[in-house]
Structure 1
Amino acid sequence: MRKILASAVAATASLASVAAYAAQPVDWQTNFQPAATGIMEQITWFERYSLWFIVPITLFVLVLLAYCILRFRASANPTPSRTSHNTLIEVVWTVGPVVILLFLAVPSFQLLTAQYSPPEEAKLTIKATGNQWNWDYEYQTQDPLSFNSAMLTEDARKAEGKENMAVYPRLLAVDNEMVVPVNQVVRILVTASDVIHAFAMPAFGVKTDAVPGRINEIWFKAEKEGLYYGQCSELCGKDHAFMPIAIRVVSDAQYNTWLAAAKSDLPGANKALMAETDAAKVAAAGN
């Protein structure tokens, strides 16, 4: 009996580790995905901070409306007030919103500045080109590496070794993930080949339009290894909903090994990296 319970606990831990390993949308989600970058942590903080203003103001207005509806209805107030001016009210509803907006504006501008100010020079630059309905990635390295990333079809899961739906979810898993090193600034140059798309990675706190003939620049510094999912976030045609983005964050050594192998054998490099990272997560759960 104890062995059965121990096995069940180990299996549960393994599944929990796998679920945490892949940052992705979940059913009935009402908040942000877990932050994997410092910028996303700031965005999450600002969202919670702003709620301390939004919720009380919303409740106050609701109570005020209810009071006015009941107190000044025709049956209870047959003779309407003819007051046209009240200095105190004018001052309060002018100064109050100004003070509130200042408390919101200062951290908002600080966050906006941080989003456009990388802490250091980017160690890696990748060009991401949106197509209907997939992405082309080009690594701006000494020997450039280019490949296409498209949504993984159900009949291709077995061949790719991506049958675990918890790690490689339906409509989000891709055949070739973007691979980047952990704790390094990565610059993404975003454009499109046909119509307007949008490159969005919620766990990283990045999102920008991919516009034909124009290059938009974003950056991120992933602080946690793992597999992260995003999607095209600009309506781009009939298959807009089937244009996911997957980024695998690995150690420097794993990244360098993958990059060297990918230039001659991308499928083999992907499978070797996937086997190493997935096995490490399962082993950690077992411990």
Structure 2
Amino acid sequence: MPTWNHLSFQDSSSATMEQLIFFHDYSMIWLMIISSFIFYMMIFSMKNKFTNLILNEGQNIETIWTILPSFILIAIAIPSLRILYLMEELINPQFTIKTIGHQWYWSYEYSDFKNMIEFDSYMLPYEDMKDIRLLEVDNRLILPMKTQIRILTTATDVIHSFSIPSLGLKMDSIPGRLNQMCIKANRPGIFAGQCSEICGINHSFMPIIVEMIPMKMFINNFIKLH
């Protein structure tokens, strides 16, 4: 779970989030190179080191100044498009979970099993919270790890957003529309998220807790008990 002193991304728990962190670091390298080069040019231009060069070789400078950013944009666009494809592509999901946003709580439906499982998830009162303030819920979303899962999300009233940073999930829940995303956790654990859309007065009081457990435990301790 996140803590108050997190300055960077949360530790990744899925392949998607690993790719997103890689792309962030990769893009920052390019931004640092560009910023350093522009800073260098500004400093030495102010000292009149490049004045004659710009006046005499203006056409060449303009050509380089146009072509070089094009190659940089291509170098950034290729991994970006690859990650977008990986996030949108659903390859043989084993089952589907439906999440429904309300003002101000979440509902979950497991519809692929013999008996459909559905329940609501509310934030616990402050006096009942044991771990992290404003993030604990009464009913967690229990899912098996290392399993391709499709998540369908919608809402009943206003636009919400189903977001779990460490799993690389963020999708708007829109009334009258189903959006889909995939999730596959690499390790067991408890992962926290929140509605990341400003959905009303209690927007900050509808957290999401996903508990990833082994498949055998998921079938024996969760599905059979429901």
Does residue 40 (structure 1) correspond to residue 14 (structure 2)? The answer is no
Residue 103 of structure 2 is aligned with which of 120, 132, 137?
132
Deviation per CA, 1:242-274, whole angstroms, max 9, x where unpaired? 11111000011211121221x2xxxxxxxxxxx
Q: Which has the higher strand share?
A: 2
Deviation per CA, 1:22-74, whole angstroms, max 9, x where unpaired? xx222232211111111111111111111110112122223434444x447xx
Q: Which has the higher helix share?
A: 1
Residue 199 of structure 1 is aligned with which of 154, 162, 166?
162
In structure 2, stretches of 5+ residues that fail to align are none
Match of 1:269 in 2: none
Does residue 259 (structure 1) correspond to residue 223 (structure 2)? The answer is yes
Question: Number of residues paired by the alignment?
Answer: 222
Q: Residues of 2 paired with 1:60 and 1:85: CA distance?
A: 19
Residue 151 of structure 2 is aligned with which of 164, 188, 213?
188
Q: Residues of 2 paired with 1:213 and 1:143: CA distance?
A: 25
Match of 2:182 in 1: 219
What is the Cα deviation at residue 192 of structure 1?
0.4
Match of 1:210 in 2: 173
Residue 117 of structure 1 is aligned with which of 89, 112, 131?
89
Q: Which runs of 4+ in 1 moved over 6 A?
A: none
Task: Please provide the CA RMSD for this pair.
Answer: 2.1
What is the Cα deviation at residue 152 of structure 1?
1.2
Deviation per CA, 1:163-220, whole angstroms, max 9, x where unpaired? 3x2xxx1111111110000110111110001000000111111111000010100111
Task: Report the TM-score when normalising by structure 1.
Answer: 0.73
Q: Residues of 1 paired with 2:26 and 2:60: CA distance?
A: 29
Q: Residues of 2 paired with 1:95 and 1:30: CA distance?
A: 35
> Aligned to 2:224, what secondary structure does the other structure show?
helix
Match of 1:64 in 2: 41
Is the Cα contact below 8 Å between 2:120 and 2:139 reproduced in 1?
A: yes
